[in-house]
Amino acid sequence: MNIGRAAEASGVSAKMIRYYEDIGLIEKPARTAAGYRRYSEAEVNTLSFIRRARNLGFSVEEIRALLALWRDRSRASSDVKALAMKHIADLNTRIAELKEMADTLDHLARNCHGDDRPHCPILESLAAPVIGETQPREGQPPEA
């Protein structure tokens, strides 16, 4: 199977297949006499595995570990689970960060009239965060 077919079958672009080979995530495949990469079903399975893991947000390094566990028939499922739990925690951290951004911005946007007048709490907050009730006379833009 050529790289184009393998890409189609696995859902990993040919570009990325070459990249994964380059960084040693996958083994170097066999080559035809002309130098074309040839992929077996098993290799396409590996690529699909990688794609699904990426879809779950695993980093390439995490996938490297997952692949090692996958190939190790005598692995302990606790090792896999630990990796997954760690990743879930990472995801939740990022979710919390994004959520805090969205909430903060949502709060500011809610207090913004959104009309044709210039007054805008969003810009004011960026210019200087609100401290208590008083608006300190700071945060004027330059060249204004």
Given the rule CB under 8 A, which residues bind a copy of itself? 27, 40, 42-43, 45-46, 48-49, 52-53, 55-57, 66-67, 69-78, 80-82, 84-85, 87-88, 91-92, 94-95, 98-99, 101-102, 104-106, 108-109, 112-120, 122-123, 125-129, 138-144
Q: Is 13 in the site for DNA (CB under 7 A)?
A: yes
List the single partner that 33 binds among a copy of itself, DNA, none, CB under 5 to 8 Å by kind.
DNA
- CA 81 – CA 98 distance, rounded (Å): 25
Are 69 and 79 spatial neighbours (Cβ–Cβ below 8 Å)? yes
Per the DSSP assignment, residues forming a β-bridge with 22 are: none
Six-digit token string for 135: 């608006």
**Structure token digits, residue 125:** 């907050």
**Dihedral angle sign, alpha carbons of residues 81, 85, 88, 90:** negative
Residue 34 touches which of DNA, a copy of itself, none (Cβ within 5-8 Å per kind): DNA
Choose the one of a copy of itself, DNA, none that binds residue 94, judging by a C-beta under 5 to 8 angstroms depending on kind: a copy of itself
| 3 state SS of 102 | helix
DSSP state of 56: T
Whether the Cβ atoms of residue 62 and residue 91 lie closer than 8 Å to each other: no
Q: Work out what residue 4 binds among DNA, a copy of itself, none; the CB cut-off runs from 5 to 8 Å by kind.
A: DNA
Give the binding range for DNA (CB under 7 A) out of 53-61, 93-101, 111-119, 126-134: 53-61
Considering beta carbons, is residue 54 or 122 the nearer one to DNA?
A: 54
